[in-house]
Amino acid sequence: MTKNPTNVWPVDLPLQLDRGAGSQVLRIYLALRDSILSGRLPPQSRLPASRALAGQLGVRRNAVVAAYERLLADELVEARTGAGTFVAPSVPVGVVRPPTEPTVETTAAPTIFALGRTHAEPQIRDDLRRAVARHLRHFDDAHLAYGDPRGSRALREQIAAHLAVNRGILCDPDHVVVVSGMQQGLRLALGTVVAPGHSVWMEDPGYPAARQAIEGAGARAVPVPVPVDGGGLDVAEGVRRAGAAQAAYVTPSHQFPTGVVMSMARRVELLAWAERTGAWILEDDYDSEFRYAGPPLTALAGLDRARRVIYFGTFSKVLFPGLRLGYVVLPPDLLEPTLAARQAMDRFPPTLLEGAVADLMARGDLSAHIRRVRTRYRHARDLLAATLQGHAEGRLQVTVPEQGLHLVARLIGNPPPGTAARLQDMARIGGRLLSETRIKPQAEDGFVLGFSGHDLAEVKAGALRLCAALAEGGAADVTPPRS
């Protein structure tokens, strides 16, 4: 037989089987497919006989035969009777990268003080498991077909009842849309009320994920940074900077990240601006359920006579972010366009968890859980604040929030940029830096530290590490004020 260099098996081809990727057949198939598509096995080359390749790779011969069949089905190889299996004459070479690329090593980020973690106490895990099991037992056609783009009626009724009692919002369950978290709700609403190039007020400092949604695909709007002071978003400054903005994103019940509660005067001022100009208020009420002192101020949506407020709530804080469940309460005018956008996005939410969470609400399990974890979170907040205040030796200004699941510790004396990040690394702590939440860079920096969902001993240990880092490596930059 004449040896044609293009149709012999290149014996030195280093065929690497990925140990992690599924069955033996799949691994052989993927290795060959990538060799063909990256050009290392050129068109017309002859693949070895299945027995030979099985011997070379130390795998079952049947597995090689099955992998060849998959390549045949993909039309990447062809079988020539009596001659063997060959790479097809024309394949789209170069569409995959050769698998010899160096793997990027990722090191796990420290998790202590990470935001967005909640405490999965045994009781609520059991309650949730039981509720899901009940719903699985009665999983019938109604759950298996396409559903209402607003989500299940049962859950929407529970949400409307919860909002009436706890947030002073009276809404029709038909105006509630169940979404996969606030983030999806915000994207949906932005897509309905703003167009690319429109301006949206954004608290500065503020929630980075909301800013991404404002700037990102779909909305492509321009966030206008509006400063936050002790009364919350500075409405007058917003009017000065962009009075004709189409919308304002706000976290009035517990400003992210500062923890400031928007004063009633500011609430009224913001609503009046929206009524006057026809702007929309995007009210993110993300952790209003966790208040440690006194009753909460009523939500903007509860005061909104002109129907300019789009209200967002989430189960990520009262339960778990992994559930991906949140809700939007829409003014009547926005219902139709938002539901049309939802249909075009993911149609409607998955039914199983909706039913289970509606059950938790109806049976009082969720309220009981909130009461229990609120006490735990208050202890965690107090422990974190006391440890920082007791050991930072005047290098941190700690704001103890009356609400929410994180606190802010500011570095005293505005040390050079990069100091907070360096201290964070030295102390091996997670969470955010205050500077990461800024739209307009400022000299001030510090730490946004989540205290929910962490072991209390770890909270204390993390706080002590931060104080030690401040005293040690940060000493050059972070000097306590002279008394």
Ligand X SMILES: Cc1ncc(COP(=O)(O)O)c(C=O)c1O
314 binds ligand X (CB under 6 A): yes
Q: Which two tokens stand for residue 212?
A: 């991404």
C-beta of residue 21 within 8 angstroms of C-beta of residue 56: no
Site string for ligand X, 61-80 (x = CB under 6 A): --------------------
**With binding defined as CB under 6 A, does residue 50 bind ligand X?**
no
Nearest-approach distance from CB 172 to ligand X, in angstroms: 22
Sign of CA dihedral 340, 346, 352, 354: negative
Query: Which of residues 115 and 171 has its CB atom nearest to ligand X in the complex?
Result: 115
| Residue whose CB is less far from ligand X, 68 or 113 | 113
Q: Applying CB under 6 A, what is the total number of residues that bind ligand X? A: 14
Residue nearest ligand X by beta-carbon distance: 181
Q: Which residue stretch of 75-83, 271-279, 314-322, 457-465 sits at the interface with ligand X (rule: CB under 6 A)?
A: 314-322
* Cβ-based nearer residue to ligand X, 68 or 320: 320
Q: Does 302 bind ligand X (CB under 6 A)?
A: no
Residues 88-147 that bind ligand X (CB under 6 A): 115-116
Name the residue nearer to ligand X (CB basis): 116 or 480. 116
Q: Is 403 a residue that touches ligand X (CB under 6 A)?
A: no
Separation in Å, CA 161 to CA 12, 151, 179, 244, 366: 69, 16, 18, 35, 13
The reply on whether position 284 binds ligand X by CB under 6 A is yes
The least CB distance from residue 10 to ligand X, in Å, is 50
Among 321, 337, 394, 480, binds ligand X (CB under 6 A): 321
| DSSP code of residue 234 | -
Instruction: Report the C-alpha gap between 127 and 323 in whole angstroms.
Output: 14
Tokens of residue 282, six digits:
């995007």
- Under rule CB under 6 A, residue 473 binds ligand X: no
**Cβ 207 vs Cβ 284: under 8 Å:** yes
Rounded to the nearest 5 percent, the helix, strand and coil shares of the chain are: 45, 15, 40
The string of DSSP codes covering 311-359 is EEEEHHHHS-GGG--EEEE--HHHHHHHHHHHHHHTSS--HHHHHHHHH
Using rule CB under 6 A, residue 207 touches ligand X: yes
Nearer to ligand X (CB atom), residue 381 or residue 395: 381
Residue with Cβ nearer ligand X (47 or 202) = 202
C-alpha to C-alpha distance for 354 and 156, rounded to whole angstroms: 9
| Residue choice 238, 326, 430, 431 for contact with ligand X (CB under 6 A) | 326
Give 32 or 202: the residue with its C-beta nearer to ligand X. 202
Residue 316 touching ligand X (CB under 6 A): yes
Cα torsion at 271, 275, 276, 281 (round to 10°)? 60
* Ranges within 157-186 binding ligand X (CB under 6 A): 181-183
Complex with ligand X: residue 181 or 223, whichever CB lies closer: 181
**Token pair of 104, please?**
């990027």
Give kind and range of the element (H or E) at residue 224.
strand 222-229
CA 435 → CA 106, 218, 412, distances in Å?
A: 24, 26, 14
Q: Would you tell me which residues interact with ligand X (CB under 6 A)?
A: 115-116, 181-183, 207, 251, 256, 284, 286, 314, 316, 321, 326
